[in-house]
Amino acid sequence: MATLPFQAVPSGTDIAIDANIFVYAFLHQSDDCRALLLRCARQDVYGVATLDTVSEATHRLMCAEAMNSGIISKETRNPAASLRKRPDAVAGLRTYWIQTQAILSLNLSFLQITEDHVRTAQSLRASCGLLTRDSLLVAAMQESGLTSLASNDSDFDRVPGLIRYRPSDVASVQP
């Protein structure tokens, strides 16, 4: 699979957006990610996501808000487990939801995850070693004929036929 910088995404491209792109953009960790999402909002490129991807981004944004506000320690190994013990604090979090609403208003198209995607995703996990949510995203992309993906996750490089566009201003990650 080819890996290219966001700046190489041609106008008019249909591009799937991975959760990490939303997180980097809304936590102000990547100007490249913010610029790509602005291109989606302007329909210079056509952003596509799954609601599962948005759900993952929402969860990560909630955990980040809890860490940044001191509700849980930034060194916490399992933020969700720590938050689970603090339902009162979870109820008081607000910023992550404002960020999620901004994601939902970005002019994106949303692919539905179906039972067939869940089944297809297993073959992707077996052949490419992808984790569950990544394999679901690729299954939905494949059914829709999408080959372009915006992600900072190098695990997708194991998927034949995908072009991964990545931000240049954050280090590539292996989750």
Domain boundaries, the chain: 2-166
Q: What is the mean pLDDT of residues 57-71?
A: 95
Question: How confident is the model at residue 1, as a pLDDT?
Answer: 63
| pLDDT tens per residue across span 2-46 | 899 999 999 999 999 999 999 999 999 999 999 999 999 999 999
pTM: 0.94
CATH class of 2-166: alpha beta
Positions of E strands within the chain: 2-5, 14-17, 46-50, 109-111, 148-150, 163-166
